[in-house]
Amino acid sequence: MAGILSAIKLREAGFDDFTVYEKADRLGGTWRENTYPGIACDVPSHLYSYSFAPNPEWSHRFSPGSEIQAYFEEVADRCGVTPRIRFGSEVGRVAFSGGRWQLETKDGGRDEVDALIAATGVLHHPNIPSIEGLDRFGGALFHSARWDHAVKLDGRRVGIVGTGSTAVQIVSALVDRVAKLSLFQRTAQWIMPQENPPYSEAERAAFRRRPELLRSAYAELGSLFHAFSGGLVDADSPEMKAIERACRANLEQSVRDPMLREKLRPSYRAACKRLVMSPNFYESIQKPNAELVTDGIERVEADGVRTRDGRLHELDVLVLATGFRVDRFVRPMQVIGREGRSLDAVWSRRPSAYLSICVPGFPNFFMLNGPNGPVGNFSLIEVAELQLGYAMKLIELLRSGRCREISPSAEATARFEAERSEAARRTIWASGCRSWYLDDRGVPMSWPWTFDRFRDEMSAPKLEAFELR
Ligand code: NAP
């Protein structure tokens, strides 16, 4: 998503000498890699689109993953950037040397560039839990982001580990197909009810005929999301209270068996973890062939999962919907800045960056959806567009000859990070739960302020925060 965006916007700005490196043989990032049953984006499709490429054809309010993948491929083709992508070309190392970035691909290719944009994603590297015996399982075993479509599911016994957004979508998609579905829950989740109506042919025709309808859908949904995210960063806001009420009512009204209801009731506040949206998760988990297993996994055995109560849950397929290693970002690529300093060493405690975009000592290096950015509260496409606009203003300084190297000062970066982590401690994400938003200190790794503040910050770089050479 962010790489295609960069290519389109660089071209528009008259940059012609650029290359997009892609390790896979197809574009699409998260939407290429995640193909699990039930996958959809819970940001409305008319907002989860490039601002400059609205799409009248979205089938649903929250369209499925395959449609999103097709959208990115179509936009890249239409904007003429697909030929600029070097597929099957994984970048292994980049080093700043002689005033430029020296780039090496894993297959021995080399390039020398003035500026680098890292559009490598956030939820990218699967988190494989260290559960004893995983390697001894006799059935099919895979992570949700590595779905094995050759494995038969119909009529079989399927186990799913995890209760995040991914697991919830898989449960609803599979429950009617499988003989038995066992959901291994370590922590209960609040579920926000969310209907997903299809767009009728008449509605799509209207979107096609009247582009202003698409523009106003984007603007209206954007305003709603910005208000919602404003609520998240203030743990006691009226928006938070409304979310809590809706989640609690959903649990009370949808789950009939009081014992099951208590097992599904989280012990922390709604939206502390990333809010899970679903029209039918509670309905699915109450089906006769579904079981919510809360006893804790002791180990995996050849025949299934043994829980701490001694019971063996016999399975043919085990899916790890256990999330991602969210502190990786551009890694495992080796990034070597000035004086041979590696990004891995600079980030040895935890990743950080000035405004989530650039790092002191790494000139002309810009990340999209980098560390501590707005991950939990906005459309990541909108975030990437704003960040790219900011980075391009800095790249413009290089093009105009105003400087040859630009990187943020260590002082400005430390000041920003201190202010950010202080504010992050007051958000709902720090209200007492374990989630992928938290760093090693338990501080949320996210933009802790409103969308308006983010947009203002992205509108123009404050050059006093940068060192220009
Ligand atoms: P996730 O939210 O990180 O959830 C991982 C799940 O695995 C959690 O329930 C976690 O339990 C469990 N888990 C991890 N290690 C475990 C272990 N050793 N034993 C038992 N359980 C374990 O991952 P995700 O569901 O893939 O979602 C990641 C993010 O992707 C989402 O938050 C969202 O931002 C995005 N996403 C969005 C959508 C959508 O738009 N609808 C769909 C999918 C993903 P604990 O809670 O106890 O840690």
Say if ligand 1 is within 6 A of residue 123 CB.
yes
Closest atom of ligand 1 to 434 CA is 48
The protein residue with its alpha carbon nearest to ligand 1, atom 45, reads: 187
Give the residues across from 466 on adjacent strands. Answer: 408
Packing angle of the helix pair 211-232, 451-459 (nearest 10 deg): 110
Say if ligand 1 is within 6 A of residue 377 CB.
no
The protein residue with its alpha carbon nearest to ligand 1, atom 25, reads: 164
**Residues whose CB falls within 8 Å of the CB of residue 191, separated by 6 or more in sequence, listed in order:** 168, 247, 250, 251, 276, 277, 278, 281, 282
If DSSP codes are grouped into helix, strand and coil, which group holds residue 306?
strand
Say if ligand 1 is within 6 A of residue 186 CB.
yes
**Cis peptide preceding 332, ω within 30 of 0:** yes
Give the residues across from 157 on adjacent strands. Answer: 180
DSSP 204-268: HHHHHH-HHHHHHHHHHHHHHHHHHHHHHTSTTSHHHHHHHHHHHHHHHHH--SHHHHHHH--SS
pTM summary value:
0.97
Say if ligand 1 is within 6 A of residue 42 CB.
yes
Identify which of 123, 166, 196, 264 to mutate to test ligand 1's pocket (most ligand atoms within 8 A of the CB): 166
Q: Phi/psi of residue 142, each to 5°?
A: -155, 160
Number of helical (H) and strand (E) elements in the chain, helices listed first = 13, 20
Report the alpha-carbon distance of residue 220 to residue 243 in Å, rounded: 19
Distance from Cα 319 to the centre of ligand 1, integer Å: 12
DSSP 134-171: GGG--SEEEEGGG--TTS--TTSEEEEE--SHHHHHHH
Say if ligand 1 is within 6 A of residue 308 CB.
no
Say if ligand 1 is within 6 A of residue 102 CB.
no
Per-residue pLDDT of the chain (469 residues; tens, 9 = 90+): 999 999 999 999 999 999 999 999 999 999 999 999 999 999 999 999 999 999 999 999 999 999 999 999 999 999 999 999 999 999 999 999 999 999 999 999 999 999 999 999 999 999 999 999 999 999 999 999 999 999 999 999 999 999 999 999 999 999 999 999 999 999 999 999 999 999 999 999 999 999 999 999 999 999 988 888 888 888 888 988 999 999 999 999 999 999 999 999 999 999 999 999 999 999 999 999 999 999 999 999 999 999 999 999 999 999 999 999 999 999 999 999 999 999 999 999 999 999 999 999 999 999 999 999 998 767 999 999 999 999 999 999 999 999 999 999 999 999 999 999 999 999 999 999 999 999 999 999 999 999 899 999 999 999 999 999 9
Say if ligand 1 is within 6 A of residue 134 CB.
no
Packing angle of the helix pair 451-459, 380-399 (nearest 10 deg): 20
